[in-house]
Structure 1
Amino acid sequence: MSDDSTTVPGAGLSRRTFHKAALAATAGAFAAPAVVRGRNLNEKLAIACIGVGGRGGSNLENVGHEEVVALCDVYDAAVARAADAHPRAKKYKDFRRLFDDLKGYDAVVVSTTEHTHAFAVLPALQMGKHVYCEKPLSHDVWEARLIREAAAKAKVATQMGTQIHATDNYRRVVELVQAGAIGAVKDVHVWVGRAWGRQSPEDAKANGDIVSVTERPADSSPIPAGLDWDLWLGPVAERPFHEVYFPGPKWYRWWDFGNGTMSDLGSHWIDLPFWALKLKAPSTIEAFGPPPHAEIAPATMKAVYEYEAKDDQPAVRLTWYQGAMKPEPWSTGAIPKWDSGVLFVGEKGMLLSDYGRHLLLPEDEFRDYKRPEPTIPKSIGHHAEWIHACKTGDATTCNFEYAGWLTEANHLGNVAYRVGRKLEWDADALKATNASEAEPLIRRDYRPGWSLG
């Protein structure tokens, strides 16, 4: 086993102390994972990377100082680029073959498109491998629940790729909220300026969209050399290749492959109130926006979540806004007009945050406020935290227990939007009790040959 007295860089804490404190500070944390095999902290993990282009390339770079034993991608060019830095790694196109053939590895990094996340994550968990998965954790609500429960059973180190969770700014905001700086919080507003989705060409240009699409293309494009389009589709019904789907991130605005801005950026932004207020399952979810499109996620929408009172947290309403929709305090100028942000509204004031800064409002009233001493330790790094947990059995802060609940909630915003009615949510039964029409969106069907049974 590792030397638990090793000091966490910049924190003045032992690694064991760091992870105990981090575990206690994280909403929904669960028991520390088992270790695949005893090892010294200096011994390298054997890691298989599934999806190594785009975001996957960045994740590979962050774990590349370990022993990368396998590279897998449906696009040959992505594997070839990754192999330049890891020439000894085995190469795969189909991750199912990787799980069948690869021996002697400890951990898996999954950076595929959302619609195949669960198909790469679940078998890794069932084989007792540590798993890092890009956000969002799954393509639908049922898959998120399946992964969360499988992770609890596997007792391995897991981490969802919400890298912003590791920043000092988020930690300080959580401490302020939980210390009661603004009193009991009953309203939270979360908004993002990004407007990728179904919109007019003019709106797309104004919002910096990467491609303007309003309908599924009737034609097709030549399949790029080295891309296995059938494997890329995976569990989704066959359709002709078109450049509006590939390469990423074009795909994520299509319901079949992703979930638009809601579940993508919601993983980062809703993470903050989820952590600070220790949220899990909402009781109701309602969404607003333009009429839903059958195939393409919206550029602009709003989702309202109601959470019941629990322990020392009163009932809270959390509202998500994307694109053109903004909270009233933003529109009226009551708060600074940040492009994206989180606004906690408490009985004694407000707390405004984005990724890298935060303000207690009204500023004049908080000028002499004495901030609480930091209680959440500085992160050793989002990827480093997971690698450390793999080697020691310590916990991570965005483990699949926490990330599973966050992912479920984010997906439910889209479900409510697509169904067009307020959902009454029974989390235990995994059902909208008043909307049976939501069931195909909570758990999708797969094409023959693909299952998570």
Structure 2
Amino acid sequence: MSRRMLANSSAVSRLTLSRRTFVQGTAAATASLLLGPPAFLRGQNLNSKLNLAIIGCGGRGGANLSSVKHENIVGLCDVAASTVDRVGQQFSGAAKFTDYRRIYERAKEFDAVVVSTCEHTHAFATLPALQLGKHVYCEKPLTHSIWEARVIREAAAKAKVATQMGTQIHAGDNYRRVVELIQTGAIGPVREAHVWVSRAWGRQSAEDAKTHKDIVSVMERPAGSSPIPAGLDWDLWLGPAPERPFHEVYYPGPKWYRWWDFGSGTMSDLGSHWNDLPFWALKLKTPRAIEASGPPPHVELAPASMQATYEYDAREDMPAVKLTWYQGVNKPTIWTEKGIPQWASGVLFIGDKGMLLSDYGKYVLLPESNFKDFKPPEPFIPKSVGHHEEWLQACRTGSPTTCNFEYAGLLTEANHLGNVAYRTGKRIEWDSVNLKATGCPEADPIIRREYRAPWKLI
């Protein structure tokens, strides 16, 4: 075997809200337009295809739709009417909407929902589907806040439907081989792990600007406004977020995710992909404590660069571990001192017997000289049928998914905790049962924020 081993690329409120209460509680001031035919395309006997409703058709929504378009697409929804019209040309029989709540008024006509809205409306588009017993695929991050993640986890557990968060790289062979190596002790017990990404989208420091000169980043909220694009329902796009005039710095995506009102920055976005690997391999769930550092937090904008360290207690057969996240210009000391290969983004596991460095498509055991005769275990995590296909198969058969909302909810909660520690500037001692940062009341409105009236989740 070669020295470098490469893998192939590839107690919270219970959810008792009635459907009518949900619709009334989240009703916008003006109902959005029903754009298409008066009924969903019916196809229950169409080659056993699933009837799918697609909420969010542009950007990531378009990519998700492309992966499930072989099913029976019965409903299309996007707050931009032009997007619905454009995408609808491929699915002429599908009903077309700009308001996802109209879809749920016809719940009997579909089996499952694909949610690809902006982060701040994920929970609002996902929860009614779970309450109605519909299968759900939701783009990452699962929710905009920790409290929302707990609500969705509980609702999914109660619904017992097929769920999947859109962390597509989870289906790749490389992650599976790394998980097998860590869990079979290839580098011994792991007590330290590091995750870094080079992306520097957000409010930039002077150091960010020097290192990432090609990144254009807004520094403050614009004073004026821009003309609202024709067909965009801006009020509906804002949804539960605080009201503000439309401006092109927020829309279209991914501009919005730099702003705390709509997203959570690089941490929750890329963290869903990169922290996924140690979360899976090290059997992580709930951190005991979190502390973060970076430039002074901004009230409106997520940072381009920062880092956060999580402390996890011992789990099953694994010892306590510290996991540190870095983004932008921040990197682990062992990286800056050239103690490991200079990969732009990566995951480093440090064990008692060596190290494992991985990215999306490859890994290497370090120091390589120590592992020249190493033989990896026989693969025991089955090859994925594909991230979307895994969910579709689960909808039909009840088979498991690997990024179900129980797993994804815990991962989302942990990622958001990094931002809580950063924004409060305090070490967080985390009370997971009560969703409280012990002794840090200023964290409360970040953990669970107030919604713009009349929007309510539960």
TM-score normalized with structure 2 length = 0.89
- Note closer, same or farther for the CA distance 1:210–1:333 as it changes in structure 2 (3 Å cut): closer
Deviation at 1:211, TM superposition (A): 3.5
Give me the whole-angstrom Cα distance separating, in 1, the residues matched to 2:207 and 2:445. 33
Does residue 313 in structure 1 map to residue 315 in structure 2? Answer: no
Deviations 1:380-422 (A, max 9, x none): 0000000000000111000000000000000000000000000
Give me the whole-angstrom Cα distance separating, in 2, the residues matched to 1:318 and 1:112. 30
Deviation at 1:265, TM superposition (A): 0.2
User: For residue 124 of structure 1, what is the aligned residue in structure 2?
Assistant: 129
Match of 1:113 among 100, 115, 118: 118
- Note closer, same or farther for the CA distance 1:316–1:278 as it changes in structure 2 (3 Å cut): same
User: For residue 245 of structure 1, what is the aligned residue in structure 2?
Assistant: 250
Does residue 186 in structure 1 map to residue 191 in structure 2? Answer: yes
Does residue 304 in structure 1 map to residue 309 in structure 2? Answer: yes
Deviations 1:319-355 (A, max 9, x none): 0000000001100000001000000000000000000
Q: Given that residues 53 and 76 in structure 2 are in contact (C-alpha distance below 8 angstroms), is that contact kept between their aligned partners in structure 1?
A: yes
Paired residues for 1:411-450 under 5 Å: 411-450=416-455
Does residue 235 in structure 1 map to residue 240 in structure 2? Answer: yes
- Note closer, same or farther for the CA distance 1:40–1:337 as it changes in structure 2 (3 Å cut): farther
Match of 1:256 among 257, 261, 280: 261
Give me the whole-angstrom Cα distance separating, in 2, the residues matched to 1:73 and 1:191. 33
Q: Given that residues 41 and 388 in structure 1 are in contact (C-alpha distance below 8 angstroms), is that contact kept between their aligned partners in structure 2?
A: no
- Note closer, same or farther for the CA distance 1:308–1:40 as it changes in structure 2 (3 Å cut): farther
Does residue 85 in structure 1 map to residue 99 in structure 2? Answer: no
Q: Aligned to 1:384, what secondary structure does the other structure show?
A: helix
Where structure 1 has 5 or more consecutive residues not aligned to the other structure, the ranges are: 1-38
- Note closer, same or farther for the CA distance 1:90–1:206 as it changes in structure 2 (3 Å cut): farther
Deviation at 1:101, TM superposition (A): 3.6
Deviation at 1:98, TM superposition (A): 1.4
Match of 2:147 among 136, 142, 151: 142
**What RMSD over aligned residues (CA atoms) do the two structures have, in Å?**
1.5
Q: Aligned to 1:295, what secondary structure does the other structure show?
A: coil
Give me the whole-angstrom Cα distance separating, in 2, the residues matched to 1:100 and 1:449. 19
Q: Given that residues 107 and 132 in structure 2 are in contact (C-alpha distance below 8 angstroms), is that contact kept between their aligned partners in structure 1?
A: no
Q: Given that residues 306 and 330 in structure 2 are in contact (C-alpha distance below 8 angstroms), is that contact kept between their aligned partners in structure 1?
A: yes
Whichever residue aligns with residue 251 of structure 1, its letter is W
Paired residues for 1:209-224 under 5 Å: 211-224=216-229
Whichever residue aligns with residue 249 of structure 1, its letter is P
User: For residue 10 of structure 1, what is the aligned residue in structure 2?
Assistant: none
User: For residue 392 of structure 2, what is the aligned residue in structure 1?
Assistant: 387
- Note closer, same or farther for the CA distance 1:147–1:209 as it changes in structure 2 (3 Å cut): farther
User: For residue 456 of structure 2, what is the aligned residue in structure 1?
Assistant: 451
Give me the whole-angstrom Cα distance separating, in 2, the residues matched to 1:200 and 1:308. 34
Deviation at 1:204, TM superposition (A): 5.2
Match of 2:334 among 329, 336, 346: 329
Give me the whole-angstrom Cα distance separating, in 2, the residues matched to 1:71 and 1:133. 15
Whichever residue aligns with residue 367 of structure 1, its letter is K
- Note closer, same or farther for the CA distance 1:168–1:42 as it changes in structure 2 (3 Å cut): farther
Paired residues for 1:4-403 under 5 Å: 42-199=47-204, 203=208, 207=212, 211-403=216-408
Deviation at 1:205, TM superposition (A): 8.3
- Note closer, same or farther for the CA distance 1:84–1:41 as it changes in structure 2 (3 Å cut): closer
Q: Aligned to 1:148, what secondary structure does the other structure show?
A: helix
Deviations 1:413-438 (A, max 9, x none): 00000000000001111111121110
Give me the whole-angstrom Cα distance separating, in 1, the residues matched to 2:148 and 2:193. 27
Whichever residue aligns with residue 86 of structure 2, its letter is R
Deviations 1:38-87 (A, max 9, x none): x9995100000000000000000100000000000000121122112111
TM-score normalized with structure 1 length = 0.90
- Note closer, same or farther for the CA distance 1:88–1:204 as it changes in structure 2 (3 Å cut): farther
Give me the whole-angstrom Cα distance separating, in 2, the residues matched to 1:413 and 1:203. 20
Where structure 2 has 5 or more consecutive residues not aligned to the other structure, the ranges are: 1-43
Q: Given that residues 40 and 391 in structure 1 are in contact (C-alpha distance below 8 angstroms), is that contact kept between their aligned partners in structure 2?
A: no
Give me the whole-angstrom Cα distance separating, in 1, the residues matched to 2:213 and 2:301. 18
Q: Aligned to 1:136, what secondary structure does the other structure show?
A: coil
Deviations 1:89-142 (A, max 9, x none): 100101111112453100000000000000000000000000000000000000
Give me the whole-angstrom Cα distance separating, in 2, the residues matched to 1:447 and 1:238. 7
- Note closer, same or farther for the CA distance 1:205–1:113 as it changes in structure 2 (3 Å cut): farther
Q: How many residues end up aligned between the 2 structures?
A: 415
